Amino acid sequence: MYKIIFCLLLLSSGACSQGPNNSPLKKASMSTNQNKYYSTTSKEKLILPDSVWKQVLSPEVYQIARLKGTERPFSSAFETSKEVGTFHCAACGNPLFKSTAKFESGCGWPSFFEPITKGSIIYLPDNSHGMMRTEVECGKCKAHLGHVFEDGPPPTGLRYCINGVVLSLEK
């Protein structure tokens, strides 16, 4: 019930709409190409001022990763993608999820049942929109990724509901 209400709130707000030709795959590659802080191998925490993030991220990635926005449901090419590889944070390159942990939940966003490592994700309480949820952030740069829910498949029973805009895929 909460998922339906949340989706309706997001759709009616129009705050997270995207242009018709701006695919998440294109957005992620745009942000990683111009971002000198993007690294898939560095494990160092990345703490940058907001002014720098605004310069190195595409407007779409910045809106979600730094301002805790949400992309429109069912708008991410990653939601139904079956491509094999590793999903990284589009802001910093931190490895987040393996494609083997991805599943189709039907919630409108790419879903995973476990992160690559315990440290790749940070968990925070989120009581916005009149709901009690758990927000997930990138463990390296603290980019907002989405939320985790306890209605996922085995073996974890978790569903990491992630904005595709803040993901990049290394095949």
- Angstrom distance (rounded) from CA 95 to CA 80: 20
Q: Is 157 exposed, middle or buried (0-12, 13-18, 19+ CB in 10 A)?
A: exposed
- What is the identity of the amino acid at 151? D
> Which helix H or strand E contains 167, and what residues bound it?
strand 167-170
> Which helix H or strand E contains 149, and what residues bound it?
strand 144-149
DSSP lists the bridge partners of residue 167 as 89
Is 161 noted as a catalytic residue in this protein? yes
Catalytic annotation, pick one of 16, 107, 141, 161: 161
8 Å CB contact between 144 and 68 = yes
Residues that are catalytic = 161
